[in-house]
Amino acid sequence: MNVSAPDQSIAESKWILALILISALMLICTIFYPFGYDQAIFSVGGEMVLKHGAIPYRDFLDTKPPLIFYLYALSSLLFGHHEWSIRIFDLLYQLAASIYFFKILTRYFHSRTAALTVCITILIYAGTGFWHTAQVESFAFIPSLLLLDVTLRAKEPNRSNIFTFGLFAGIASAVLFLLKFTLITGTFASVIFILLRKKNESNTALRYSLGLITSFVILLVGYILYLKFTGSLEYFLQNIRWVSNYAQIEPLLGRDTIATQYFTLFPERLISTMTLSFFVLGCAGIAVYLRNLSRDHSQPIHGLLALTWGLQLIGVLAERKMFQYQYLRATWTFAPFIAMGIFYTLPISKKIWERLSQSKIPARTIGSMLFMVIVLIAFFYSPFIKLFSQSIPWVHIVIADENAGVEVHKRIPDYYADEQMSVGKYLKQRAAGNDNIFVWGNDMAIYYYANKLPSTLCLTATPLRTPWTPPAWQDTLIKQMIASPPRFFISEFGDVKSYITGSTEDSYQALLKWSALRDFLASNYEEDTTIGHYKIFRMK
């Protein structure tokens, strides 16, 4: 029986509405996510920017470029001092990005494909969990979409405003660069795509590239001048050198790096980030695209998405850390292929099931069992199981008013979330309003829970305790400590992060080896108590 056009339209609208509701529900679940390591650091740095007018590099040090701290400062300004402030900000950001993504996709795909693609993107994002959301890559989504949008528009025939599109591409590229330097590989995808031109498009490539370079250079020079006028440029350049040494902990072409990082962790975490089922479906979607490529060259978006996906993954390889959140810079470009794979495999699965239903009893029974086993395996390795384990428990914990830090510590044994909460509560009860505290360690949520902010350039101890730390940073810290001694001095132990520091020492061991800081502690403080992995000293 044929379905009438109005009925088909109604069914399609209901289907899209269902996808919207699923997406909204998954985003709402992220509000309940607690802090992870990075979110705590970004929040403390963001509040320093907001409340003290602090400037990254000059007033506090971290391994990340500066823009993420300003985004966290904005979330605190809008929603206050809460763990869920950045989660609401992230939810609204992902919602705006999803709407923009949908609008771009509907220019090239059917609306149901566009809606499914956006839903898949959100499922993958929310499913990465509390540790991997509200990260730098999370906020790379909109500038990446802007880059995709203007690149596609620039390739459309008879366009007269190519230079303007290039200007917008340069703005998006500068934002990506200031979020994280390796995100610039998305710009390379845009430029390469424009340069892959027909003979009559050489002028298009020139005007687009000129616009991109113009706005990118203007914004970057503007930022450098800002650093110079605020007295931050020297620290910024020192930080660049520090990061370059940090990157060499695992050499780019080292034997262990190639064997362990590139050929083991990289594919393993690429697949686990989007789940095995989605990865297989995406590969099927790419196969469909390649099969149709010889017949249809009218849809340039497929090629740009694939190129962006590949080059952004090269950026992940260049960082050599292989955290799941790093892959989020690329997963959204793979989502349309997953949607294509779903629409390709569903009819095939339906035909297989119908043939099994019509076959003889022994074959039907065995075939049906095998079919159901395959479906169950696919579901087990799909985002739905991951979402249930990563999202739902946090909703329950918050509603039940349980200690989320205990669950965080259970999931991440070397991240002492519950202990940081306890230390923060302890200090909040004992430190007066004008008393400063100083935390020497990797985990900075203590400042947040104590409702205090650093009074020195030491946000985390990491940049100050590596073999390649600039002596000027250590000298500055000691001078700041002497000029304004904190009421409480907290040192973390058991926080070895060799992949960051290049050392097997924890923060307390590094403190004991740094004579100037060790002597300052011994001369001015006495041991107060120890809570978990945190030694607390109070001023004599």
CA–CA distance, 504 with 156 (Å, rounded to integer): 55
Predicted confidence band of residue 1 (pLDDT cuts 50, 70, 90): very low
Nearest CA to 313 out of 169, 186, 133, 143 is that of: 186
Q: What is the DSSP letter of 214?
A: H
Q: Are 369 and 355 in contact (CB under 8 A)?
A: no
Considering Cα of 463, then 465, then 471, then 474, what sign does the dihedral take? Answer: positive
Considering Cα of 278, then 281, then 287, then 289, what sign does the dihedral take? Answer: negative
Give exposure, 306-321, as e/b (b: 16+ Cβ within 10 Å): bbbbebbbebbbeebb
Q: Are 45 and 60 in contact (CB under 8 A)?
A: yes
CA–CA distance, 26 with 128 (Å, rounded to integer): 11
Per-residue DSSP letters for 301-366? HHHHHHHHHHHHHHHHHHHT---HHHHHHHHHHHHHHHHHHHHHHHHHHHHHHHHHHHS-HHHHHH
- Within 449-499, strands assigned E span 488-492
Considering Cα of 59, then 62, then 63, then 64, what sign does the dihedral take? Answer: negative
Q: Cα Rg for the chain, rounded, in angstroms?
A: 26
With H, G, I as helix, E, B as strand and everything else as coil, classify residue 288: helix
Give exposure, 480-499, as e/b (b: 16+ Cβ within 10 Å): bbeeeebbbbbbbbebbbee
Q: What is the mean pLDDT of residues 397-412?
A: 94
Kindly state the helix (H) or strand (E) to which residue 527 belongs, with its residue range: strand 525-531
* Site of tokens 């973390």: 492
Q: Give the mean pLDDT of the chain.
A: 91
Predicted confidence band of residue 472 (pLDDT cuts 50, 70, 90): very high
Predicted confidence (pLDDT) at residue 213 exceeds the cutoff of 80: yes
Predicted confidence (pLDDT) at residue 304 exceeds the cutoff of 50: yes
Q: Worst-scoring range by mean pLDDT, 14-18, 109-113, 198-202, 226-230?
A: 198-202
Tell me the two tokens of residue 39. 């979110």
Kindly state the helix (H) or strand (E) to which residue 420 belongs, with its residue range: helix 417-430
Kindly state the helix (H) or strand (E) to which residue 534 belongs, with its residue range: strand 534-539
CA–CA distance, 407 with 391 (Å, rounded to integer): 13
Q: Are 282 and 334 in contact (CB under 8 A)?
A: yes
Share of the chain above pLDDT 90, in %: 73
Tell me the two tokens of residue 440. 């020497």
488-492 vs 534-539, strand pairing mode: antiparallel
Q: Worst-scoring range by mean pLDDT, 193-202, 234-243, 260-269, 396-405?
A: 193-202
Instruction: Report the 10 Å Cβ neighbour count for 280.
Output: 16
Q: What is the DSSP letter of 80?
A: -
Tell me the two tokens of residue 74. 């904005």
Predicted confidence band of residue 451 (pLDDT cuts 50, 70, 90): very high
Tell me the two tokens of residue 26. 């998954």
- Write down the pLDDT at residue 130: 95
Query: What is the side-by-side order of every strand in the sheet holding 437-440?
Result: 437-440, 488-492, 534-539, 525-531
Mark residue 446 as left, alpha or beta (left: phi above 0; alpha: psi -120 to 50; beta: remaining). Answer: alpha
Q: Are 195 and 155 in contact (CB under 8 A)?
A: no
Predicted confidence (pLDDT) at residue 506 exceeds the cutoff of 80: yes
Predicted confidence (pLDDT) at residue 454 exceeds the cutoff of 80: yes
pLDDT (tens digit per residue) in 381-397: 999 898 888 888 999 99
| pTM, 2 dp | 0.94
Q: From residue 251, give the alpha-carbon distance in Å to each of 313, 323, 468, 499.
A: 18, 17, 16, 12
Tell me the two tokens of residue 241. 């050198």
